[in-house]
Structure 1
Amino acid sequence: MLLQPDHVYMAAAKAWIWTPPILVETAAAGAVCLFTERFAAELNSLSKERMYEVIKGFWPTADLVFESFDEQSYASFLKYLENELSHLRNHQQHFAVQNLEGTFNVIHRLQKNLSKAQAEALRALSGGFLNAEPATIQRSIELSVRLWLTLNINSSAIAVGPTFPDETPLDWDHDMSLEALAQRQFTKCWAR
């Protein structure tokens, strides 16, 4: 798996927006599937450069500078990624997105549609998936959000994989925006 050597920056509204590098697929390797043990192993052995790219992929607007980037600060997040994905290892066929770059693409598109209802966001993202069932796209969107925001969004109507007694998954209603869902969840936390 090789990264393109140059980061792509785009000028927009007099601000520079970081866009994550795209994986260059090789005939031998290709992009590593999120749901494999190989992906988990690679997460545990990331170079500082690749870890920085992964973190910037999840949070492109974060004020991170490579020279002062501390890998240990993100070790627990990488462990979270590994843990969440390991629960789904036997269910990869139920997801439209299969690799990290696809996850970043979903996240970046969702960031532009935070105030849209889930059904609208699903329609907006569906155009990027050929021959994928709506449920597989929705699962991929929810998994991307779960990894990005560490909110346990896992709508019961489309859930796959194990559920644990100490976890309360959030159902993302079709008429609710991601922004409203997150606000509702944190309002509940503050009200306790």
Structure 2
Amino acid sequence: MKRWIQVLAWVLLLSAGALAHLVSLGTVNPAVEPDLARLPAKIGTLELGEVYDVDPVDLGALPPTAFVFQQLLAENGSEGRMYLAYFERGLRWSGYPHPVDICYRSLGFEDLDARVLWTQAGARLSVHDFDREGEQVRVLHWQQRPSLVPGTEDAGALLGRLRTVDGLRQDVASIYFEFPLAGAPSDAELASAAAALIPALESLWASS
């Protein structure tokens, strides 16, 4: 009897390991790549303008599956940019996609200030003010996963996600808005723009 219990325990352990591996590869719950050309022309008070040409080679050793660099225009006339990078599979051990502060520090920026903003729907957004030899920028950033409010990766939220059709999906998007610090939109405007973009992206990568 003891022998059968040991065999059963090994079978369950190996089965769990195999399932976890398939989940991490995106086999169990396939990714859905969003059509970034269908993003709305306006998010909150910010308008999306020109799309910039960027060579994927310039995006590091592990470039995103899809991405867009696009001009952002604020109501006060300030001009910034949005970067939205979609990864078919978030790579846990490499850290991809990186938190935005790591990316900016690697480019020689120093962190002047950091704080958290929240949308009315409960999404958690990070705001950083950076400086590099007098060049000062304000950056709003968040990472987004299907059927999960950004920044709510607690146990309750993750268990709730498991009850959805996207419960085991591994794809992730990393989004940031960057503006010159002088004349940057207010925190309320930035949060409003993020609140509009989050459901728009959700609709573009929703499973059928």
- TM-score, with length taken from structure 2: 0.23
Relative to total residues, which structure has the larger helix share, 1 or 2? Answer: 1
